[in-house]
Amino acid sequence: MHDRRIPEWLRHAPAPSVRGFAVLAGTEAVARGILVSVFPLVMYHALGDARLVSKAYFLIGLASLFVGLSIPYLIRFVPRRWVYVSGTQMYACGALLAASGGQTAAVAGLALFTVAVVTTFVCFNAYVLDYVAKIELGRLETSRLFYSALGWTAGPAFGVLLYGWWPPAPFLIAAASAYGMLTVFLVMRLGNGKLITRSRAAPANPFAYFPRFFAQRRLIAGWLFAVIRSCGWWVYVVYLPIYAVQNGLGDQLGGIALSISNGALFLAPLMLRFVQRTSVRTAVRSGFMMSGLLFLFAGLPYGVPQVAVLSLMAGSFFLILLDVCAGLPFLLAVKPSERTEMSAIYSSFRDVSGILTPGVAWVVLLVAPISGIFLACGAGLIGAWGLARNLHPRLGQARVSVEPVRDRAYAPELAGGPEAV
């Protein structure tokens, strides 16, 4: 009798939907989007030198990479839901710490915020693998980008405007959004994910799957595409605002440019249709070639700063095209039995790019102005265009449209855009 009085949604939680995951990603986009253009300014004003900023990002990237690779090992001892919850709290603590002001607080706040990104990212991937059918992965990625578009479009410009008005304001909004993430997560009732029984125990450490990863060329290529694409976003998000300040274009230009560029996220469904009508190979090569050429043009010596900014903004449009399609080569190559471990390895692209980009920039700035970073990034994007020529012309088409759904999920989320930073 008492059982009948308990609402059905309390006794049996509904399965998480594509829309639920998209809302969760959209909430996170608000927390990160409002600070994505503020943190480079805070770091540059606190440290006073682009080389020191690169050094700080480089060291934080190393720490974030270690944490990201250790999370699959950690969740063997700590329930996944608590790891995700701790990630939301690191978001809030990092934002509040950076809001307090000072050089040490700025660096420590950025470090906490960066570790929070990779912590929630790996957990989010694992939940997607558990609850989303592989035939729905393309729809999930498009929905995630669409729901995230508002945070990534309005956030950067709004963040720098608030920072100019009252510096703590964007950090307080980011902290509030982190608690919004926590609320959505609890409402979705994801728990610890699904229990999957295997014939043998999983590896005892997060590095045991590296030999399997390096033995599969398709996985390596897909991971490299993600790294290089993420490097493009690192350069655009971190070094464009510094370039604008150094060339007398103001503190707000970087955030405004990023907001305008992120408006292309609303075109993600149209970009997905372009991928479907042509091929993954064509879309990936087009994105890398065009973004590479535009970044190279922006880095030409003795160029006009305003023209360089416009060229970078045009290049970012093609980076968003890559957000839609450049993760598919990895996505379609992951084996179901390796999905959790390969998800952790794939998610390392964010941290590797967070180490590689400031590391290369650190070296470039020793011998060239900041525009030299745009040249180096453009060269890397063109290199990825050359690597993509080895992709199969019909990659993904037959499997997505013909194969029955045998596995609930098998590959990580295609996180991209400025989210890659």
CA 369-370-376 angle, to 5 degrees, is: 105
Mind listing the pLDDT tens digit for each residue in 245-261? 888 888 888 888 888 88
Q: What is the 3-state secondary structure (H, E, C) of 326-369?
A: CCHHHHCCCCHHHHHHHHHHHHHHHHHHHHHHHHHHHHHHHHCC
Mind listing the pLDDT tens digit for each residue in 302-357? 778 899 999 999 999 899 888 877 777 777 666 666 666 676 677 778 778 888 99
Structure confidence at residue 341 (pLDDT): 65
Instruction: Pinpoint the alpha helices (H) of 189-304.
Output: 210-214, 217-234, 240-246, 253-262, 268-277, 280-298
The residue count for the chain: 421
Give the residue from 381, 370, 298 showing the smallest Cα distance to 40.
370
Structure confidence at residue 412 (pLDDT): 41
Structure confidence at residue 414 (pLDDT): 45
Structure confidence at residue 336 (pLDDT): 63
Mind listing the pLDDT tens digit for each residue in 57-113? 889 888 888 887 788 778 788 888 899 999 999 999 999 999 887 788 889 999 999
The first and second tokens of residue 194, run together, are 């699904």
Which domains, ranges and CATH numbers included, belong to the chain? Answer: 13-194+207-420 (1.20.1250.20)
Give the residue from 324, 55, 357 showing the smallest Cα distance to 230.
357
Whether the per-residue pLDDT at 298 is higher than 70: the answer is yes
Q: How far apart are CA 228 and CA 218, in angstroms?
A: 16
Distances in Å between the Cα of 86 and the Cα atoms of 60, 63, 80, 82, 83 are 18, 17, 10, 6, 5
Q: How far apart are CA 206 and CA 388, in angstroms?
A: 29
The first and second tokens of residue 336, run together, are 């179901």
Mean pLDDT over each residue of the chain, to the nearest integer? 79
Let me know if 387 is exposed, middle or buried by CB neighbors in 10 A (0-12, 13-18, 19+): middle
Q: What percent of the chain has pLDDT over 90?
A: 21
Structure confidence at residue 409 (pLDDT): 36
Structure confidence at residue 134 (pLDDT): 63
Pair 171, 95: CB distance under 8 Å:
yes
Provide the 10 A C-beta neighbour count for residue 93: 17
Mind listing the pLDDT tens digit for each residue in 376-397? 999 999 998 988 887 766 665 5
Bigger pLDDT: 126 vs 5: 126
Give the residue from 125, 64, 26 showing the smallest Cα distance to 330.
125
Lowest mean pLDDT: which of 275-284, 310-319, 331-340, 358-367? 331-340
Provide the 10 A C-beta neighbour count for residue 319: 29
Provide the 10 A C-beta neighbour count for residue 30: 23
Mind listing the pLDDT tens digit for each residue in 157-172? 899 999 888 999 999 9
Give the residue from 39, 12, 49 showing the smallest Cα distance to 105.
39
Q: How far apart are CA 166 and CA 170, in angstroms?
A: 8
The first and second tokens of residue 189, run together, are 């009732």
Structure confidence at residue 382 (pLDDT): 94
Q: Which amino acid is at 342?
A: M
Structure confidence at residue 399 (pLDDT): 46
Can you say whether the dihedral through the CA atoms of 335, 337, 339, 344 is positive or negative? negative
Helix and strand numbers, DSSP H then E, in the chain: 20, 0
Distances in Å between the Cα of 204 and the Cα atoms of 71, 207, 340 are 12, 9, 13
Q: How far apart are CA 79 and CA 96, in angstroms?
A: 26
CA 65-85-167 angle, to 5 degrees, is: 75
Q: What is the DSSP letter of 14?
A: P
Band (204; pLDDT cuts 50, 70, 90): very low
Question: What would the mean pLDDT of 229-242 be, rounded to a whole number?
Answer: 91
